[in-house]
Amino acid sequence: MSSEARHSWSAAAIGDAQRAEYIGFLHREPFVIDAYRLGFTVGVREDYSYQSKLRNVEVPIEILDNDFRNPDLDRYIKRFEQSEPSIGMLGDAYDRQEARRYNQAGRELKRKFPGTEVIIVPKCHEAIDVIDEDMILGYPMGYSDQTADEYTDIVDWRGRRVHLLGASPTKQYPVIEELTQPRVTGEEPADIVGVDWNGVHLAALHGEYFSPHGYGSADHLSIRETVRESLRHIRSYWKSRGVWPTVEKDRTPLTAEPMDPVWAADGSRATVNGLEDAIVVEYENGQTLAYRSEHERDRVEYRAGLTPTEVHD
């Protein structure tokens, strides 16, 4: 092995490769408020606009994700230009042609918005080489229809800037080690730019918080408190593994309670805490109502003849 290759395996070099620039959490208000205060980089999916419509809840959209179930690149770019996030998860490329299209769109966004980071998720082996070196490769884990190990080998991601998509931190970290640790074949480590995982909200709905040692019972906590507890454990875990960013961003204080009224289906005023388990629906007549169940929603909409414009669950 050359002296240059040996140098690349120094402890400092591996530590730098594993140190992320951001840890993402994409969700709605009020959960992103707590994540933002804890130092996470927050954002939303392009088709989601819940917190952006609450007048005094100013949560920045730092990451803009795409609607992977209904992808539309033109729609995404329009939302991107409105929000101007610092990180854009552009889309999933299932073949070389799609990779080229996303790559060209990424080039254009980076030209219009200097300093923007663009993530493209290669969903086939052939897509990787099409994507420019200055783009971030999204490494699919979690609930993806295809995970990276189904169509690539770890070596395919070495030497590239990588963002791990989905899966808990305790599942992500072994992958980070595989992507960065020395190999006898000499490939340089991947540069772990970021990770994200939003599964703590689903766990909270089941009465559990995440910890590196397993899930704990949160029956004594509210949904919001449970998510916050999980986020604290995630931050602590990534710090202990040397993945949490060294330089944390300055955080502007945020308002936690919305000014705009949301009403429960029974006519009472609904608070933010009361919305955590609710189905929140906006209607053409300007109303925003919160329901305890789909059954309650169906009954009220049928009787009142309401036409929904947007649903937040």
Residue 125 near residue 156 (C-beta atoms within 8 A): yes
**What is the C-alpha R_g of the chain?**
21
Answer for the pair 23, 38: CB distance below 8 angstroms, yes or no: no
Which amino acid is residue 173, in one-letter code? Y
How many other C-beta atoms can be found within 10 angstroms of the C-beta atom of residue 206? 9
Q: Tokens for 221?
A: 């906590």
Angle at 28 between CA 24 and CA 32, to 5 degrees: 50
Distance between CA 70 and CA 58 in Å, rounded? Answer: 27
Contact residues for 269 (Cβ-Cβ < 8 A; gap 6+): 261, 262, 263
- pLDDT given at position 78: 94
Separation between Cα atoms, residue 224 and residue 272, nearest integer Å: 10
DSSP 124-140: SGGGGGGS-TTSEEEEE
pLDDT at 269 (0 to 100): 56
Domain range summary for the chain, segments of one domain joined by +: 11-241
pTM assigned to the model:
0.79
Whole-angstrom distance, CA of residue 81 vs CA of residue 54: 20
State the burial class of residue 292 (Cβ atoms within 10 Å of its Cβ: 0-12, 13-18, 19+). middle
Looking at residue 288, its pLDDT comes to: 73
Closest C-alpha to 168, from 209, 118, 221:
209
pLDDT of residue 94: 96
pLDDT of residue 224: 87
DSSP-derived 3-state class of residue 76: helix
pLDDT of residue 290: 78
CATH 3.30.70.580 fits 11-241, yes or no: no
- Strands 136-140 and 117-122, how do they pair? parallel
CA distance 300 to 289: 10
Do 165 and 143 contact (CB within 8 A), yes or no?
A: no
What is the SS3 assignment for 121? Answer: strand
* In contact, 60 and 253? CB cutoff 8 Å: no
pLDDT along the chain (313 residues), means of 10: 50 92 89 89 80 58 90 94 95 97 98 97 96 97 88 96 96 97 88 96 90 94 92 98 86 55 58 61 70 82 75 65
Identify residue 95 by its one-letter amino acid code. D
**Are 235 and 212 within 8 A, CB to CB?**
no
